[in-house]
Structure formats: C-alpha cells, structure tokens
Amino acid sequence: MLRLVRPLPARPIGRASKVCVSGGIGSGKSALTEALARLGAVRFDADEVLRQATGVGGVALPALREAFGSGVFASDGVLDRAALARVVFADASAKARLESILHPLVWEEMDRVVAGLTLAETLIAEIPLITETGNHGRFDVVIMVDAPVETRVERLAKRGMTEADARARIGAQATREERESIAHLWVENTGSPADLEDVARELWEILQSWDDGGVLCRPTMINPMSEKPLLPRDLVENPIL
C-alpha cells in the first residue's frame, strides 16, 4: 500500500529532482528502487560509489589508513572490510570518523550525476541509513519502504541470515516512527513482487506529474489524518493554488 505522510515540496527549479528510497533491512527498498529505474528513473548507486572509493586504489584508502591504522588492511594493501566493520560497530566515535570520510564522497558524486541530468529527469538513490544519518535534507522527496518485523525476518532468513542476526540488525536501525518523521511517501511492502511493481508505477506517475501538481487521486493513497482519499492539491505544497 502507498500512502502520503506529508505533502511534497515544490519541485526544484534549475535541476533534476532528487528522490531518496530508504527503509530498514529486509523492507524491500532495493526492489522498489530497481522497479523505479526500469520505469525511467536514473538510479544512483551509493553502494557502488563506496565500493570504488574503498576498493584497490580507491580515493578513500589513504584517509582510512590514517584514521584506523594498518590493522584494517590486509598484507597486500587491500581494505579488510570485516576488520573495519568490527572496529566501527564497537565504537560510536570510530563509526562517526568512518562516515566523515565516506559520506562526502557519496554526496559529491551524487551532485556530479545530478548536474549532468536534464530538468525532466529524476534521480532515485537508495540510501538505507538516511534516517540515522540525518541526510534526508539533501533530497527533495523521501520514499520510505517498510514491512512488519516478522516479514522482514523471514526475508532475511531466505538470504541466509540467522533469526538472531536479523532481529539484531533490525533492532539496531531506526524505528518506524523515526522513519515516518522524515518520509513524504510510505510504502507498506507486505504483498507480492507484482504488488510492489504496481506501487512503483503509482509512484512513478506521481513523480512524473509532480511539476504541475496534477497528481491523480489513488484509492490506495489515504491521508492518515482524515482517512479520506487525497485530492491533487493535498499532494503538493504550492502557495499559488
């Protein structure tokens, strides 16, 4: 199900729009991002940016070595991701140092990609920890994907994760209420892959018609305050209506 959490802001002037897809582990955010990309969105892969930055010869390696020492590197100079993970998961200050090194690289690359897009294009970025890091202000619209904890645990088990690990990972992430506090649109991903494809098409129609506020009223989009179907003027903040 797709619902509105808060009105969309005015569409940006002078650049392509930036949309974040986020949600907890096992929520289905990657599947939704991929579906939107198939419909025409320009997908920005933050994970790929980080893989390149921390891979062999990556631009982040000197800063990581300086911050964390040679103990997070193998003898051949390759970053030992597992060793680095152990360090940052056990120390909040270490995690903050890591983020201060890596996050600027992601945002710089995203800005570069956006600068090369036409005004009519829409960038879709999957950012799993957007709530936790407080970077939602870098995007025009935040789409949050969620599902019940038990559903997410089942999905993670199919990926080979133990139930204990799955519950620990879920518990360490932002709560539903915290995610809702920054979301514009909310996807309750409890159905089939085909259902999620249908939601992606609805979202794409909204993002395509966002510029003039002419968003079609969808029976699945219910204003949580009024429990009435949304009208087009409810969906976009525009003082000239």
Instruction: Give the start-to-end residue ranges of the domains of the chain.
Output: 2-235
In whole angstroms, what is the distance from residue 87 CA to residue 105 CA? 21
29 among annotated binding-site residues: yes
pLDDT of residue 209: 85
pLDDT of residue 210: 80
Alpha-helix runs per DSSP H in 40-162: 46-54, 61-68, 81-89, 92-115, 130-133, 149-158
Beta bridge partners of 2: 187
More confident call, 213 vs 161 = 161
174 among annotated binding-site residues: no
pLDDT of residue 211: 61
Domain 2-235 sits in CATH at: 3.40.50.300
* Res 232 pLDDT > 80: no
More confident call, 169 vs 39 = 39
pLDDT of residue 151: 95
Mean pLDDT of the chain: 87
- Tens digit of each residue's pLDDT (9 = 90 or more) over 19-64: 999 999 999 999 999 999 999 999 998 888 999 999 999 999 999 9
227 to 106, 165, 178: CA distances (angstroms): 39, 37, 22
More confident call, 172 vs 117 = 117
Burial label for 108, CB within 10 Å (0-12, 13-18, 19+), is exposed
Query: In this structure, are residues 145 and 22 in contact, taking their beta carbons and an 8 Å threshold?
Result: yes
Query: In this structure, are residues 132 and 174 in contact, taking their beta carbons and an 8 Å threshold?
Result: yes
Give me the mean pLDDT over the 131-143 stretch: 94
22 among annotated binding-site residues: no
pLDDT of residue 178: 96
- Tens digit of each residue's pLDDT (9 = 90 or more) over 181-200: 999 999 999 999 999 999 99
30 among annotated binding-site residues: yes
Percent of the chain with pLDDT over 70: 87
- Tens digit of each residue's pLDDT (9 = 90 or more) over 74-89: 999 999 999 998 898 8
228 among annotated binding-site residues: no
**Which pair of structure tokens corresponds to residue 9?**
């802001």
31 among annotated binding-site residues: yes
Lowest model confidence (mean pLDDT) among 155-159, 163-167, 179-183, 224-228: 224-228
Among 112, 109, 103, which Cα is nearest to 16's? 112
